[in-house]
Structure 1
């Protein structure tokens, strides 16, 4: 196991070890898949953890993260399997799956972890982009990375070109991406909103495109998005939840998700640095520190006892009430927030669950990956 040089801290080693210990409890043997979530519930005998559902997306993400572990630790984390075996399993399941994001992640894992690029999966992704249907920004970003991981397959070049164009055309003037491509596929009240995931996955995908193709426009777009979310980062390192595509402001800050702090932001911003973009290591460090400082709650977010990180700190509210209100008020006028909302819906409750992808991305973010054979020199400067 090799940590990145600038991230080799006791805290990161602690989190990596926790992920290896925590993942086996999330494996669903009967389904050959990782669970949708591991939920903590109280009982008369103390807290009980229950795995619920299954998720192909999360299975593929775990394969990507575990692929960066040495072989013995892969099998410890994956209930006796190797990451390559898990990636092959995910690819087989994706062949009959309707979720574009799941297909993209499985294609990415097959190429990167199992070294078996799947032409059928890449072909399905190409069909999805030519159908004219709107795509979630997250799914489109994963599809772009999947195509970049398999440049030798027929259709990859066209897929890269199409997804690049969709992402760059949708980006707002302050660097923020919408939730859908195009944004108009959303309702009037939500078309201006992009969540944190809608920012980090394009940063990662466009940085990877820049590194592989020497694409200066892709790098500039990734830089612009990273600059905006880093400027808006909370005083204790919080990565906020919803952003306004029009002016780059925060629509609704909460919940703060642990995976954003320990995995998704580090993963994307590390790739940006590697592609020649801006260096936001101080922001990454501040975001990671929130897991220990979290001024919103007295309860600990890292559970060594259960080998997991609790999912988020949220508001005390009816289902998504603050986000719905903020989306409506900011749709009427950028930056307009209902007075007294923080007092009416205070922050503090912890969501006592952890999802496999959170630990998978944690491993992917902080461990060194295998050197990619797809360099700019080999692939060529197609999009400069």
Structure 2
């Protein structure tokens, strides 16, 4: 069976879905691996390294996809490339179907079976293939590194003969994987860190990393369960906004990581809050791809407000550390494939009753199969 690895063409995308390390293991499964030329350049993997690992280098998408039974990609291929995927092939990628309503019906019409890796259930046996966690971890780290670069006063307390430089005060909004890594990294750099999250379980995690917890605690937060926050009521948002207003004003750096699965990111940091911050302060918005947690975020850009606050709203934060991000993502995909690999048939076997398959399979055999994307009459 042929497995194709495509060069990513989406704006701001620097990652690749396979590395030389994972290509060797894919070939060992009995696969013929075709990598589109230049696919790994931005992740520091050359065509020569892929060849040395056993891959065939294809000059263009058509050559890579010809006869492919499996396609690995980071994001869902662009329409021109998607049209070249053979019917019956298995596409494994971060589909982003909630933000692209035409994608799932298009995949079904084309007869492409698609696994959306971002929809993996949060269960123990799926941890090693959890692309959201692996990428969010790197995003949280990168957020702090970039905030340290943008902040012009220094992170740790520094005592010199000329005087003392106070430590930076960092406030992290959202204590999921990205937020917790941001807390840990900022603490390692010597900042005074506080954080907030609507999930009660996050409070202990925040404190365990040496940060102080800031948050509204009521019946609504007590009802929050699971890895992702659920959308909150208007009354809660008003209480949260009042607390955020006083907290944001006290901090030098605000790192926003709050996401709601399948929805636009909630706006938590308003324009007046940014206006209350000192000149030279920094807002890092990891939710920029979903619209942003900060009202002033311009997705894909860095801006400086009239009062001198820098707001960084880069898209694809994991892609800003592409070598590590590609390495982890490629291992996630390899783990998924090997978990469902039939050694005798030398092909993937995706049992419909398996919780991972039920959670991630969008289309199969020319039909939409995921309950969240079924047309109204079939739901």
TM-score by length of 1: 0.26
Comparing both structures, which one devotes a greater share of its residues to helix? 1
The structure whose Rg is larger is 2
Q: Which has the higher strand share?
A: 2
